[in-house]
Amino acid sequence: MSTPLISLARHWQDANTLALPAALAPWILEPASLTARLKRHCQRFRLQVLQEHSAVLPEFLQPLLPDTTAAQVREVILWCNDMPCVYAQSWLPEQTIATLRPLADLGERPLGDYIFQHQSLHRGTIEAAQLDVMLPQLNIAARCYVRRSVFQLQGQPLLVAEAFLPDISKLEATL
């Protein structure tokens, strides 16, 4: 079992209560699909899978995904106009994957494209924090805003965290 590239062990707060940078607030507070928003703001969108693996659920995530001991972890980069704009880390509990089989075979398909098509989708509170993001394969070492949410899809939980990489500011300039 591998470990995620970026640890989510931080103090998280409700994003609506934070004084967020004006350029990032619309991205962080987006209640709908971040993937869809990115696609609307760039000509060339692609997803790069960094790694996918099974992992024991860390203690700090257990309150968010109760009754879960192991999960599938998926780490991806969302690219816009050949710029890495978002690093996303998803935690899909084994029971969630057993119930929602397509989640096991997303490949290069964005998770958001799958989950946001379902009317049964419920998103919990959007929380935010700042994390040190180190992605040497992309020459990225920066303090970034990150948001996370627990979703319920057909009664099954999954956690998604998204780090807004420095190049996202270049998209904001073109909005």
CATH of domain 13-172: 3.40.1410.10
Q: Residue 126 has what pLDDT?
A: 98
pLDDT tier for residue 175 given thresholds of 50, 70 and 90? very low
What pLDDT was estimated at residue 6? 78
In the annotated binding site for substrate, the residues are 74, 111, 162
Q: Looking at the chain, list the stretches that DSSP marks H as alpha helix, in order from N- to C-terminal side.
A: 25-28, 34-40, 94-99, 111-115, 168-172
Pick from 86, 112, 85: nearest CA to 171: 85
Q: What are phi and psi of 77, to 5 degrees?
A: -115, 135
Is residue 4 over pLDDT 90? Answer: no
Contact 106, 114 (CB under 8 A): yes
Sequence spans of domains, the chain: 13-172
**How far apart, in whole angstroms, are the C-alpha atoms of residue 175 and residue 42?**
9
The answer to whether the predicted template modeling score (pTM) of the entire model surpasses 0.95 is: no
Q: For 89-98, what is the mean pLDDT?
A: 95
DSSP structure class, residue 57: P
pLDDT digits (tens, 9 = 90+) for 19-32: 999 999 999 999 99
Mean pLDDT of all residues in 132-146 = 90
Q: Which residues are annotated as a binding site?
A: 74, 111, 162
